[in-house]
Amino acid sequence: MKAVALTQTEDLDIGLSLVFFVCDDDHSKEINASRIIEFIEVIAELHAGETAVDTNRAKSIAMEIMNSCQKAKDGTVTEMEFIQCCKKDIDIAKAFLPQLEDFPVYDFDFGF
């Protein structure tokens, strides 16, 4: 239940920062695709039940993040890269913060 509570914020930056913190379980300040996939699957299950888990979609989102957002091309993304990538694509952000479906999105800061 802690994972769901962590994602229950209306502030996008705080929510994404908390998601990154949970995924960065080794405190390396980087996360890889497998951590992203695992988090998306857990959130989907907690948010909508076990049948909502779509591993192929989770893998697709993780690969999109890795392919378009990592600067070092080392198989990991930093917190800043992760947050910027999620803010560029609301559908990616919703995979981590499903409650975004419930709130109108007015203030996405795309000026990074």
pLDDT tens digits for range 41-84 = 999 998 888 888 999 999 999 999 999 988 888 999 999 999 99
| Residue ranges of domains in the chain | 2-98
- Identify which has the larger pLDDT, 107 or 28: 28
The Cβ-side half-sphere exposure at 76, using a 13 Å CA radius, reads 11
* Strands 30-32 and 76-78, bridge-based pairing: antiparallel
Determine the pLDDT at residue 48.
81
Long-range contacts of 21-27 (CB under 8 A, 24+ apart): 24/79
Please report which confidence band the pLDDT of residue 98 belongs to, taking 50, 70 and 90 as the band edges: confident
Answer positive or negative: Cα dihedral of 30, 46, 94, 58. positive
CA distances 77 to 47, 50, 101, Å, are: 25, 28, 25
Q: Report pLDDT digits (tens) over 17-34.
A: 999 999 999 999 999 999
- Identify which has the larger pLDDT, 11 or 63: 63
Domain 2-98 is found in CATH 1.10.238.10? yes
Determine the pLDDT at residue 78.
96
